[in-house]
Amino acid sequence: MILPKDFRNTYEEVPASLRDLYSQESPEKGSKPSSKLSRQSLLKSHQRHLAFLTEGPLPIRTLILPKPYAPSRKAIRDASSRRLNLGDLLIDSRNPESFIVVKSITLPYIYSATVLVVEDEVGDVARLTISNLEHTAIDPIVSESGILAVKQPCWSRLVDGGYHIRVDHPSDLVILEGGDEIVKEDWRVREERREGRDADEWKKEGDMMFLKKMFRKALVCYNHGLHHLSTHPNAPLQIDLHRKKCGVNIVLLRLDAAATDLSLAICLSFSTLPTPPSNPALTDPATIASWLHSQSTTDPLNLSSQLPPALRALAARIKFDLGLYQSTPTYNLPLLSSYVGPLSLHLDAATYISDVEVRDSGAGHGRGTFAKRAFTMGECVVVEKAFVLPGYFIADRGSDCLLYNLGNGTAAPRPGALLFRELVQKLSWNSSLRREFFKCDDGGYEGEVGVGRGEVEVEDEWAVDVFRIERIRTLNCFSVPTRSLDLLSPTHNPHSNPELRNGFWLHASFINHSCLPNSVRTFIGDVLVLRASRDIAAGEEITHQYTSPDIDIHERQEKFKATWGFECDCRLCAVDGAVGEQVKSQRRVLFEELKSAVVKAGGQGALTSTAIKRIARMTGRLEALYAPAEGEPDQYENLPRLALVHPTLFLTEAWRGVGNMERMIEAARKLLRNFGILTAVDTEKRTFEVDLGQGLVNVETVRALKYLAEGYTKKGWTGIAEKCVGLAKTWFVIITGTEVGMEEFLKQ
């Protein structure tokens, strides 16, 4: 089809236009549309849109969340559910007790959303837009002539006039089998099972579909094969088909279904042994499924050693993906780190959370995570495999997409949009995972939309509320590099702003922020490693920095408020906040002047001692703005002085550059001090003491120690140099998660 020149793709919604449209309540709300498009014009428009997907330039995918509304909690088969037709639907008015059954009369348009033309049981037609389905055009979930039940249907306005039916929550859509009794008689179809095909042929076709990445079609073929085997038994083939279905389900993130298939395959493989096992548990699918879901590394039935390798590998995969827990922080992290690459993020690692507990923080911060035992500096406090970390190829522009949330006017770029999509997919298909996820902080969403935490059950499953998923994502996700170590690489330029992924960790979500934290989180692929950055006492709350604090207290608090809805009340924020406005503004001005002086000095070729001294004098003036007034106690005594960090780092490296070791040592100690870490040197006894207090451990403090070691070595004070190296090593592990790359870093 040749598209007309003036063709506009109205299936790709424009967020700003939609926001404007939704900003005013429709005067027609609650009434029936006064006019509607004919079947012919809907079909014609649809054909053009389908042609656009093959002929037109593809825009960036735009996922849109309208204003929040709760998913329906009514099963369509519930006797009190009301079955409607298109003619009964009202504008912008959803009834959670109602549903409609429609049949697709077109191929689906699958891009930012899925669009179909559907007819109802009396032949009326409508455009149906389904958001948040994870399928692709080659492997669709909804098909031409597919039959769907849509819960709480209503007419939603379109920007260009007219109406469509819009589905946002995956649990508001039910895909019906052709033979389902709920489907009207003349729509019912016998499932297509080409005569003459045997299970082996279905298996081959399924394998072919799998290779073509048509995963859902592969599942259909394997199911046909299994159906054939119900009348032509062949145990090895049946095991094989369940095994293959399990593998496809894992690819589609349908882990609950994968566990069901695998338990059937395992039981069949045991029951068909020449001497079947005496333990009946081994041939009971429910027992095997519950072991797969047990989240425990224990294996009371000694299954692992008895399973054929292919089934054993699948069992391990499912257990890791559903979440596996170990009680000790024993890991070979360097080995795990060696497996990680841009396309291999997902590691086989169990989660360690045994030595922390979640309880009310008692400080008005909601729930928090607390130490159940003492941790020494550097120890792992939590090690956690991601619940979801999308593994896309960053250079692949085909995965570009944006998520617009019209409810709060925010837009998330690709990392957030892809995390949202994958969270929706994982939660839609795995009811066993929903309860834990929906316990995470949702910032009071339930109250706003009028749903209580315990009430969200649908057909014994938790409803998949996409608005709530998005709220939970924004409050709890982390931006992550492939490995924290990569952020330190000499080729990594912090100003080039490399794209970080967005990931979700269920347990780390319960850790509150402090600008003066006692732990540092790092990432090795999809494994989060949280280490104590100072000694932590049993019972102490574990905290980490959500983001490194802005120098300016107002900007800092604004960021916390805008992103997470809180105001930080840590000691640093209290002290920075209590500084008079005049001093605050003087600090800001001087900081900016220093920044320009540093840029200017750097741009004039090799630095001279005169240029460095000039910056040192300006830094001294800034330092004076942190001094206490005469007779007053020093509020910053052992607190970070954030505005001084960059200038002192510059001075340390500049003095090093011109070979002035004494000045470099002095500046490096100041750098530590400006992060809140006090050092004391006894020149007589040649001792060096470090008082970490509540100071910050980060890459710059590791660098400061490295420079100190270098300086003291040059002076011949090897004892102090060794002490600095020892501490630098511990801190390096804290800020990267492992010792991988440590020697190189300390040598540079």
Ligand X SMILES: C[S@@+](CC[C@H](N)C(=O)[O-])C[C@H]1O[C@@H](n2cnc3c(N)ncnc32)[C@H](O)[C@@H]1O
In the complex, the residues that contact ligand X under the rule CB under 6 A are 365-368, 441, 443, 475-476, 509-510, 512-514, 564-566, 568
Measured from the CB atom, the residue of 546 and 732 that comes closer to ligand X is 546
Smallest separation, CB 465 to ligand X (Å): 17
- Cα–Cα distances in angstroms (integers) from residue 287 to residues 300, 318, 390, in the given order: 11, 15, 32
Measured from the CB atom, the residue of 443 and 741 that comes closer to ligand X is 443
- CA gap 420, 405 in Å, rounded: 11
Smallest separation, CB 733 to ligand X (Å): 25
CA 296 to chain centroid, in Å, comes to 24
Smallest separation, CB 565 to ligand X (Å): 5
Please check whether residue 79 is in contact with residue 97, taking contact to mean a CB–CB distance below 8 angstroms: no
Measured from the CB atom, the residue of 445 and 745 that comes closer to ligand X is 445
Measured from the CB atom, the residue of 62 and 514 that comes closer to ligand X is 514
Token pair for residue 557? 């608090």
- Cα–Cα distances in angstroms (integers) from residue 98 to residues 72, 129, 412, 537, 733, in the given order: 9, 18, 33, 55, 57
Smallest separation, CB 373 to ligand X (Å): 21
Q: What is the DSSP letter of 511?
A: P
Using CB atoms, what's the residue nearest to ligand X? 366
Token pair for residue 352? 């360690």
Measured from the CB atom, the residue of 360 and 593 that comes closer to ligand X is 360
Measured from the CB atom, the residue of 350 and 515 that comes closer to ligand X is 515
Smallest separation, CB 548 to ligand X (Å): 14
- CA gap 670, 704 in Å, rounded: 9
Measured from the CB atom, the residue of 517 and 737 that comes closer to ligand X is 517
Please check whether residue 132 is in contact with residue 421, taking contact to mean a CB–CB distance below 8 angstroms: yes
Smallest separation, CB 649 to ligand X (Å): 26
- Cα–Cα distances in angstroms (integers) from residue 518 to residues 14, 369, 376, 534, in the given order: 45, 12, 11, 6
CA 370 to chain centroid, in Å, comes to 23
Measured from the CB atom, the residue of 131 and 474 that comes closer to ligand X is 474
Is the alpha carbon torsion for 335, 336, 337, 341 positive or negative? Answer: positive
Token pair for residue 729? 């090593």
For residue 88, the tally of other CB atoms under 10 A from its CB is: 15
Q: What is the DSSP letter of 136?
A: B
Smallest separation, CB 383 to ligand X (Å): 18
Measured from the CB atom, the residue of 565 and 628 that comes closer to ligand X is 565
Using DSSP, state whether 455 is helix, strand or coil: helix
Measured from the CB atom, the residue of 286 and 574 that comes closer to ligand X is 574
Measured from the CB atom, the residue of 523 and 655 that comes closer to ligand X is 523
Smallest separation, CB 541 to ligand X (Å): 10
Q: How far apart are the first and last CA of the chain?
A: 62
Smallest separation, CB 546 to ligand X (Å): 7
> 612-647: string of b/e by CB count within 10 Å (b at 16+)?
beebbebbeebbebbeeeeeeeeebeebbbbbbbbb
- CA gap 46, 495 in Å, rounded: 45
Residues 6+ apart with CB under 8 A from 570: 514, 515, 516
Token pair for residue 166? 């819009």
Smallest separation, CB 692 to ligand X (Å): 21
How does strand 380-385 pair with strand 678-682? Answer: unpaired
Using DSSP, state whether 59 is helix, strand or coil: coil
Token pair for residue 736? 């990267």
Largest pairwise CA distance in the chain? 98
- CA gap 505, 386 in Å, rounded: 5
Smallest separation, CB 509 to ligand X (Å): 5
Measured from the CB atom, the residue of 22 and 566 that comes closer to ligand X is 566
Measured from the CB atom, the residue of 339 and 566 that comes closer to ligand X is 566
Cα angle for residues 320, 321, 327 (degrees, 5° grid): 40
Smallest separation, CB 513 to ligand X (Å): 4
How does strand 367-371 pair with strand 356-360? Answer: antiparallel
Measured from the CB atom, the residue of 202 and 546 that comes closer to ligand X is 546
Smallest separation, CB 70 to ligand X (Å): 21
DSSP 137-183: TTB-SS-TT-EEEEES--EEE-TTSSEEEEE--GGGEEEEPTT-TTS
Q: What is the DSSP letter of 2?
A: P
Smallest separation, CB 284 to ligand X (Å): 38
Cα angle for residues 211, 216, 217 (degrees, 5° grid): 70
Smallest separation, CB 443 to ligand X (Å): 6
Smallest separation, CB 698 to ligand X (Å): 19
Smallest separation, CB 515 to ligand X (Å): 8
Using DSSP, state whether 746 is helix, strand or coil: helix
Measured from the CB atom, the residue of 200 and 441 that comes closer to ligand X is 441
CA 195 to chain centroid, in Å, comes to 46
H-assigned helices in 658-717: 661-674, 699-715
Measured from the CB atom, the residue of 445 and 688 that comes closer to ligand X is 445
Measured from the CB atom, the residue of 513 and 614 that comes closer to ligand X is 513
Residues 6+ apart with CB under 8 A from 1: 47, 48, 51, 55
Token pair for residue 207? 């394998």
Please check whether residue 678 is in contact with residue 688, taking contact to mean a CB–CB distance below 8 angstroms: no
Helix (H) or strand (E) holding 657: helix 645-657
Smallest separation, CB 152 to ligand X (Å): 29
Measured from the CB atom, the residue of 528 and 724 that comes closer to ligand X is 528
